[in-house]
């Protein structure tokens, strides 16, 4: 199943939240009225087999599970994500941009059709992003992504609304050139989600999926708090 096939708010908006276990997935999907892609991060698992088992558990209640890099998007975890995905077919994985095409091809060769995003970082000025520490024009990045078979770009760290103008420009160019999804992460919460969503609403991007972690997770249990999910949903609906 593709992100485009999922039911979305206003036909473009989904949310990605981390889920501790199967029960937590059920809670956040209910709180988010189904507009949710639950996720795990590879850094939470010492052994690949543990990550595989967790994805299999969560897939019993969600058609797509997202595997994140973890450690604040640490690119060194790319192969761990790939190995967990190979053993569990989660449906969606996060990768550094420079590893995304290889990962996509590797999984396809194994008969696994997965959504693979490519992670880029803000450059601090509109019209540019950073890939592996190097600045590149957004237009060139999008052309490169499409030539590599990558249809989703992750933008991190957004830092709340700090890099919002850059995100909007990325969404505009991505939509214009045919990228399916943009996935921002970093500092997103119920306090700023409406501003972020409203800013990109008119860009034409087919799928916009914010990753919202820190503000919604119970620090003691590690579970995503359903009430916080509901609060975010209410915020985007005004």
Identify the CATH number of the domain in which residue 79 sits. Answer: 3.20.20.70
CA distance 16 to 23: 16
CA distance 229 to 217: 10
Distances (CA, A) of 130 to 48, 116, 120, 145, 188: 30, 18, 6, 13, 20
CA nearest neighbour of 226 among 185, 61, 66, 234: 234
CA distance 208 to 55: 23
Q: Which residue has the tokens 């889920």?
A: 19
Is 107:116 a contact under the CB 8 Å cutoff? yes
Give per-residue pLDDT as tens, 102-160.
Answer: 999 999 999 999 999 999 999 999 999 999 999 999 999 999 999 999 999 999 999 99
CA nearest neighbour of 80 among 51, 109, 111, 101: 51
Q: Check residue 74 and give its pLDDT.
A: 96
Q: List the structure tokens of 230.
A: 């509901």
Q: How many domains does the chain have?
A: 1
* Pairing of β 128-131 and β 115-122: antiparallel
Q: Check residue 131 and give its pLDDT.
A: 97
- Per residue of the chain (238 residues), what is the pLDDT tens digit? 678 789 999 999 999 999 999 999 999 999 999 999 999 999 999 999 999 999 999 999 999 999 999 999 999 999 999 999 999 999 999 999 999 999 999 999 999 999 999 999 999 999 999 999 999 999 999 999 999 999 999 999 999 999 999 999 999 999 999 999 999 999 999 999 999 999 999 999 999 999 999 889 999 999 999 999 999 999 999 7
pTM: 0.97
Q: Check residue 1 and give its pLDDT.
A: 66
Q: Check residue 170 and give its pLDDT.
A: 98
Residue 15: domain span: 3-237
CA distance 91 to 114: 5
């Amino acid at each position: 199943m593709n992100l485009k096939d999922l039911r979305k708010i206003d036909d473009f908006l989904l949310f990605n939240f981390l889920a501790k276990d199967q029960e937590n997935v059920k809670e956040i999907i209910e709180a988010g009225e189904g507009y949710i892609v639950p996720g795990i991060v590879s850094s939470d698992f010492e052994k690949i087999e543990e990550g595989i088992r967790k994805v299999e558990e969560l897939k019993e209640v969600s058609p797509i599970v997202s595997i994140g890099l973890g450690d604040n998007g640490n690119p060194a975890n790319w192969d761990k994500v790939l190995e967990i995905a190979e053993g569990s077919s989660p449906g969606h994985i996060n990768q550094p941009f420079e590893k995304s095409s290889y990962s996509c091809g590797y999984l396809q060769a194994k008969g696994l059709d997965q959504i693979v995003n490519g992670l880029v970082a803000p450059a601090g000025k509109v019209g540019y992003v950073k890939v592996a520490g190097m600045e590149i024009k957004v237009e060139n990045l999008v052309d490169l992504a499409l030539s590599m078979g990558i249809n989703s770009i992750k933008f991190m760290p957004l830092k709340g609304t700090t890099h919002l103008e850059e995100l909007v420009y990325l969404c505009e160019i991505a939509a214009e050139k045919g990228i399916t999804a943009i996935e921002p992460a970093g500092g997103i919460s119920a306090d700023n989600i409406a501003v972020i969503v409203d800013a990109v609403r008119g860009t034409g991007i087919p799928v916009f999926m914010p990753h919202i972690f820190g503000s919604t997770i119970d620090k003691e249990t590690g579970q995503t708090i359903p009430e916080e999910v509901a609060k975010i949903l209410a915020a985007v609906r005004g």
